[in-house]
């Protein structure tokens, strides 16, 4: 099966990108879902940041009646424990890691590469970032959960990776308790983690977008 590809947004002007932000979408969406986020971040006009938004493959999803849709992995049960297909999740994380390696080979310092993910994409971002063999710039977990918290092999290179976790207090899809549990897990493992709660459902809100822009600017020294 061919790879589903990715949406790439390069910085404006002639300056080559010197930083890269990966954003992984949620279940049933694709990379274009977060395309409007980029201009809304209000990053400096001269920021040389490349945004890469990969598309998930199309898979049958058990909790949705086996319907085939864009998914990073199958979800077997919507219980609070979120029983998922870990081999599929790990395969998606390995694909993202391969894309990160491509950016490093293009000359971008791994410490200027950030992984972000929403919902299902966030679970993949947790796995991909915390097990990556080179130091990254940060992990942004949006309305998501740490699905592989008990099985992941943590990479020593990223044991000090800054982790930013955002969640809506009215999220009916991924209960906030799951988002907080992921945050508490990485915090207990010694990662510099920070949690933000927003009065929203399973979505992204304007205040959060401003906070993301500020966080990215801090992490990348923009």
127, exposed or middle or buried, with CB in 10 Å at 0-12, 13-18, 19+?
Answer: buried
Strand partners for 193: 163
Q: Which of 18, 109, 202, 214 is catalytic?
A: 202
Is 202 tagged catalytic? yes
Helices (H) and strands (E) in the chain, counts: 5, 9
Q: Contact at 8 Å (CB) between 222 and 44? A: yes
Q: Contact at 8 Å (CB) between 114 and 129? A: no
Of 49, 145, 55, nearest in space to 99 by CA: 55
Of 4, 42, 200, 185, nearest in space to 118 by CA: 200
- Residue 146 φ/ψ, nearest 5 degrees: -95, 80
Is 2 tagged catalytic? no
- Residue 11 φ/ψ, nearest 5 degrees: -65, 150
Of 108, 175, 116, 172, nearest in space to 145 by CA: 175
Of 115, 112, 134, nearest in space to 126 by CA: 115
Is 119 tagged catalytic? yes
Q: Which of 110, 119, 131, 143 is catalytic?
A: 119
Report the catalytic residues.
119, 171, 202
């Amino acid at each position: 099966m061919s790879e589903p590809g990715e949406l790439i947004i390069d910085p404006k002007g002639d300056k080559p990108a010197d930083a890269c932000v990966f954003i992984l979408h949620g279940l049933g969406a694709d990379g274009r879902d977060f395309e409007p986020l980029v201009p809304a971040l209000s990053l400096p006009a001269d920021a040389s940041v490349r945004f890469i938004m990969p598309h998930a493959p199309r898979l049958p999803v058990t909790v949705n009646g086996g319907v085939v849709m864009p998914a990073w992995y199958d979800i077997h049960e919507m219980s609070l424990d979120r029983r998922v297909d870990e081999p599929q999740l790990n395969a998606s994380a390995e694909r993202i890691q391969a894309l990160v390696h491509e950016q490093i080979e293009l000359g971008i310092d791994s410490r200027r590469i950030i992984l972000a993910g929403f919902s299902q994409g966030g679970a993949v971002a947790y796995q991909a970032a915390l097990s990556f063999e080179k130091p990254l710039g940060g992990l942004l977990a949006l309305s998501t959960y740490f699905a592989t918290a008990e099985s992941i092999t943590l990479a020593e290179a990223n044991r000090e990776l800054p982790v930013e976790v955002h969640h809506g207090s009215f999220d009916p899809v991924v209960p906030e308790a799951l988002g907080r549990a992921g945050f508490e897990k990485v915090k207990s493992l010694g990662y510099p983690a920070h949690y933000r709660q927003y009065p929203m459902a399973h979505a992204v809100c304007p205040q959060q977008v401003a906070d993301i822009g500020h966080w990215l600017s801090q992490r990348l020294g923009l």
